[in-house]
Structure formats: C-alpha cells, structure tokens
C-alpha cells in the first residue's frame, strides 16, 4: 500500500530525482520537498567546471525551475535545515515539524575543512562556494589546490585553462587514489603534470601560514607553498547531525539495505552521497559519491516506496572532465586485485588519450577506466554484466 504523504529531506540531485521517479511510477499522493539552501535545486558537477570558468551562469545549472517544480505537484520548502528525525516526522531549524508516512533522506555532504583553515581559503560544495571562488580567481595569477581528488583536479583544470599557474598538494602518492587506485591514478597524475600543473605528492599540510601572496601552507617536508588564492578539496562529510538521536551507526553515512531503506528505522529511506547502501560484493555498507549512482538509487527508492518492482543493481559509473580529456570509470575498482591494459599506451607510460584499463577481481573483470576513450568504455559496459575473464576482456577490447 502506497503512503499518503512522502517527505523528501534534501533538495539536491537525490531529492529531485526521488520526486521525479515517484511521479514516474504513478504515485499520486502528496510529496513535500525540503531543502536547506534558499536556492532552487541545482546540479553540482558544473560548479568546478563550466560555472567556475565563467562559461555558464547559475540559471543554466538549475535542476528544476519554479514552473517545473510546480508540474511535479510537490510542495516545496527551501531554506529549512533538518535538526531531528523521529518516528514519522522531521523537525526543522525554524521549529516546524513535518509528518509523513514515508521519509526520504537526501541531505548529501558538507565540504571537509582542515584544522585551522582560514575563512579566506575556499572550499567547493555549494553554488555560493563556486561563485566566491570564481570571483577570487578572476584576478589571480596563482592558485593552490589542496587535495587531488576529482574536485581538486577539476578546479585545477579550470584554473590552468584560464592561465592561472596551479599547484596541487596531495598527501597520497598519486592523484585520484580513492577513485582509480594507485596504478591508474598515476596516469591521471601524468595528465596533470603534462598539462603544466605543479604536483606535490606524498606531503601533508602541517598548517596555514601568513603570506602577502594571499594564502600559504606549510608542508610536512619542511617547504611552504604560497598562492594568490587557495581552495581545499579533501572530500565531504555526510550531513547527518540531525540523526544523532536515532541510534544509527553514522560513522560513514546512513546504513541502508539494498533498496535504500534505512536499517532499523521504519518508513525511512536514504539516497545519494550520505547513504551507505548494502555492498553486494563485499558486504557491509558503502557510499557511492557519484551523480549516476544517486539517480539510480532514487529510482530504486521510489519503486520500493510504492511497492513497484525494484530494478536489479546498476553498475556504478562516474566521469570527470579535466585537462582536455574525459576520464570515465564503470564498475567496482575498489574490489580489484589486478589491472590489465585493454587499449592504449597510458599504463605503460605512453600516450594517455585513448587508454582503457581493466580491473580484475579473482580473474574476472569488475571495472573499466578510460582516458579520452568514451566510445571504447561504453562498449566495455556489457562485459561487466557478465563473468568476463581477462583473456575475453582483452580480446573484446582490442577487436574494435
């Protein structure tokens, strides 16, 4: 039996897609969408690219304008931050309480900061963050990026395209370590270096320093890096403080089953960056901080809430545009115990563009990464739906 009222807490991609999918599967009950920001819902991937570069303005990254939201038939409340979740209801910062038969949590992440980080040092999570950084970059000649994850890499790429000399400081031995692993992350590092970025890898920030240049950090190797503008991109923390009294284990997000239902809470689901769904490969719970994963989860949750048939688990996918190439990854590189070159010479130190790498687990293909090889990566997607071994994956990849 479908609920009479669905309350969606969080008006980013996860919240919007959940509302859309509820209507798409035929849900005719009432929906309330509540967002912590005053702004209408917007898309985040362009924040570090087109919007930061000044090529796009805020209106272009809207997920839904006011008219489109009205067409969905959802009541909307913006500028309200959740402060508590209780059975069947959510309390907000203005003291209001909203009750619902089904509650979907989609409150996302907040940007992590370093200890002692000055207010003048930027982070990049919200539209306001991006506009503030864009303003400062407009007159900058040098930029310091702390963190060589996807956000840091994309900001660096945008800066270099604008002629801003950029230094990236990263404690890990290679960029994009968490997303790509060490061997493939090294390819991404080579792409950055060949594009003119000064990479400082394997060094940690020991503190911020005063500088006439605008920003400065001291490093664990005893050196100092100064720049006109600095941005810290070291990931995000799940926005779950309002769940502190629920008894949930919130160490790494909100634990959910394979259909997004929050473990131990009746009538509550979670989607997006803050949701740790059951991991079908390794067990336990895992968060997927990717645009496509959030959209896939919204479909599952909408169907689960309404009692419709739930689709099979989707193959994880993400992409990043940086330094003139599209980096793509399909599957689960985090479970791999071996990698193999499928196409191109990037893994062997040669030309990066056109490189496709396969990730194997117990001899079977579990993920594929590509650098400027979108057509080839797309064709390899089918291999991940089957039990494809090394030989078959290599032969297939080299057949086109």
Regarding whether 213 and 104 lie in a shared domain, the answer is: no
Q: Which two tokens stand for residue 208?
A: 């911020």
Regarding whether 204 and 69 lie in a shared domain, the answer is: no
pLDDT tens, residue by residue, 6-18: 999 999 999 999 9
Three-state DSSP state, 267: coil
Stretches where the chain sits below pLDDT 70 are 1
Contact 352, 371 (CB under 8 A): yes
Q: What is the pLDDT of residue 107?
A: 98
Regarding whether 120 and 101 lie in a shared domain, the answer is: no
Regarding whether 338 and 302 lie in a shared domain, the answer is: no
Instruction: Give the chain's domain count.
Output: 3
Which domain range does residue 176 map to?
Answer: 113-232
Q: What is the pLDDT of residue 282?
A: 79
Regarding whether 167 and 153 lie in a shared domain, the answer is: yes
Regarding whether 240 and 105 lie in a shared domain, the answer is: yes
- Residue 313 in any domain: the answer is no
Question: Between the CA of residue 198 and those of 137, 156, 189, 215, 352, what are the distances in Å?
Answer: 18, 10, 10, 16, 18
Give the chain's radius of gyration (CA, Å).
22
Q: What is the pLDDT of residue 228?
A: 97
Give me the CATH number covering residue 375: 3.30.390.30
Q: What is the pLDDT of residue 385?
A: 84
Regarding whether 96 and 241 lie in a shared domain, the answer is: yes
- Residue 14 in any domain: the answer is yes
- Residue 315 in any domain: the answer is no
Give me the CATH number covering residue 101: 3.50.50.60
- Residue 316 in any domain: the answer is no
Regarding whether 184 and 91 lie in a shared domain, the answer is: no
Q: What is the pLDDT of residue 114?
A: 96
Contact 306, 27 (CB under 8 A): yes
Burial label, 212 (beta-carbon count in 10 A; 0-12, 13-18, 19+)? exposed
Closest CA to 74 of 174, 154, 142, 6: 6
């Amino acid at each position: 039996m479908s609920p009479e009222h669905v309350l969606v807490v969080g008006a980013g991609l996860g919240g919007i897609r959940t509302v859309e999918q509820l209507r798409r599967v035929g849900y005719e009950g009432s929906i309330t969408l509540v967002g912590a920001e005053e702004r209408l819902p917007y898309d985040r991937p362009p924040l570090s690219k087109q919007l930061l570069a000044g090529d796009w303005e805020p209106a272009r990254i809207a997920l839904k304008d006011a008219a489109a939201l009205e067409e969905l038939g959802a009541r909307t409340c913006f500028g309200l931050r959740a402060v508590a979740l209780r059975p069947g209801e959510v309390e907000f910062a203005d003291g209001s309480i909203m009750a619902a038969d089904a509650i979907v949590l989609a409150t996302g992440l907040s940007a992590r900061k370093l200890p002692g980080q000055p207010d003048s040092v930027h982070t990049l999570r919200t539209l306001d963050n991006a506009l503030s950084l864009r303003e400062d970059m407009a007159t900058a000649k040098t930029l310091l990026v702390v963190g060589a994850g996807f956000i840091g890499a994309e900001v660096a790429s945008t800066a270099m395209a604008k002629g801003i000399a950029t230094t990236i400081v990263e404690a890990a031995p290679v960029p994009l370590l968490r997303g790509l692993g060490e061997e493939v992350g090294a390819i991404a590092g080579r792409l950055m270096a060949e594009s003119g970025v000064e990479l400082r890898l394997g060094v940690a920030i020991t503190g911020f320093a005063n500088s006439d240049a605008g920003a400065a950090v001291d490093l664990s190797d005893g050196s100092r890096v100064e720049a006109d503008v600095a941005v810290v991109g070291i990931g995000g923390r799940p926005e779950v403080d309002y769940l502190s009294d629920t008894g949930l284990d919130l160490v790494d997000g909100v634990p959910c089953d394979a259909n997004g239902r929050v473990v131990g809470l009746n009538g509550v689901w979670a989607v997006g960056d803050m949701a740790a769904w059951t991991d079908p490969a390794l067990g336990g719970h895992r968060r997927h901080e990717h645009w496509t994963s959030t959209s896939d989860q919204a479909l599952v949750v909408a169907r689960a809430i309404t009692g419709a048939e739930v689709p099979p688990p989707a193959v994880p996918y993400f992409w990043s545009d940086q330094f003139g190439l599209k980096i793509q990854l399909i599957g689960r590189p985090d479970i791999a115990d071996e990698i193999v070159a499928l196409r191109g010479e990037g893994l062997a130190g040669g030309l990066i563009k056109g490189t496709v790498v396969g990730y194997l687990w117990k001899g079977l293909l579990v993920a594929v990464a590509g650098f400027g090889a979108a057509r080839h990566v797309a064709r390899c997607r089918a291999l991940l739906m089957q039990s494809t071994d090394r030989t078959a994956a290599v032969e297939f990849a080299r057949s086109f």
